[in-house]
Amino acid sequence: MNHNLSVAPPLEEANPKNPAVARQQLSIKQLIVLSLEILLALPLGLALAKLHIGGIAWIFGGLASGAVVLQGCRIFYKYSPKPNRNARKVGMALVGLSVGASSSSNNLTSLAAGIPIFIFLTLFLLLSGSCIGYIYSRLSKTNLLTSMLATVPGGVGVMASIAADYDRNVTLVALVQAIRVTSVVLLIPLIARTSVANFLNPQTLPITNTLVSFNPSQLGLLLLALVVTGLVVYLAALCKIPAAEFFGALLIGIAFNPLLHWLPFVGDVNFNPPLFIKLLGQLLLGITIGEYWGDKPNLDKKAIGYAFMSVGMTLAAGAIAAMLAMQLTSWDWLTCLLVTAPGGAPEMILVSLALNHNVEIVTTGHLVRLIAINSSLPLWIFLFRHLDSQLSEPDLKKC
Contact indicator for 382, 358 with CB cutoff of 8 Å? no
Region for 299 from its dihedrals, namely left if φ exceeds 0, alpha if ψ lies in -120 to 50, beta otherwise: beta
Cα distances (angstroms) measured from residue 333 to each of 147, 323, 324, 363: 30, 8, 10, 16
Alpha carbons 102 and 96: distance in angstroms, whole number: 10
CB of 126 closer than 8 Å to CB of 381: no
Nearest Cα to Cα of residue 189 among 64, 77, 317, 54: 54
pLDDT at 212: 44
pLDDT of residue 324: 93
Q: What is the 3-state secondary structure (H, E, C) of 204-243?
A: HCCHHHHHHCCCHHHHHHHHHHHHHHHHHHHHHHHCCCCC
Q: How far apart are CA 90 and CA 93, in angstroms?
A: 5
**What integer pLDDT is reported at residue 214 of this predicted model?**
54
Q: In the chain, where does DSSP find H-type helix?
A: 19-50, 57-77, 85-102, 105-110, 115-140, 144-151, 156-165, 170-193, 207-212, 219-238, 244-262, 275-294, 301-328, 333-340, 345-355, 359-398
pLDDT of amino acid 361: 87
CA distance 101 to 110: 17
Residue 8 pLDDT: 40
Q: 1 in helix, strand or coil? A: coil
Q: What is the pLDDT of residue 280?
A: 87
pTM over 0.85: no
* Spans of the chain below 70 pLDDT: 1-18, 52-56, 103-113, 154-155, 157-158, 193-217, 242, 265-268, 295-299, 391-399
- 341-375 exposure pattern, b = at least 16 Cβ within 10 A, e = fewer: bbbbbbbbbbbbbbbebbbbbbbbbbbbbbbbbbe
- In whole angstroms, give the CA distance from residue 33 to residue 86: 13
Q: How many CA atoms, within 13 angstroms, populate the side-chain half-sphere of residue 230?
A: 7
- The predicted pLDDT at position 206 comes to 42
- Check residue 297 and give its pLDDT: 59
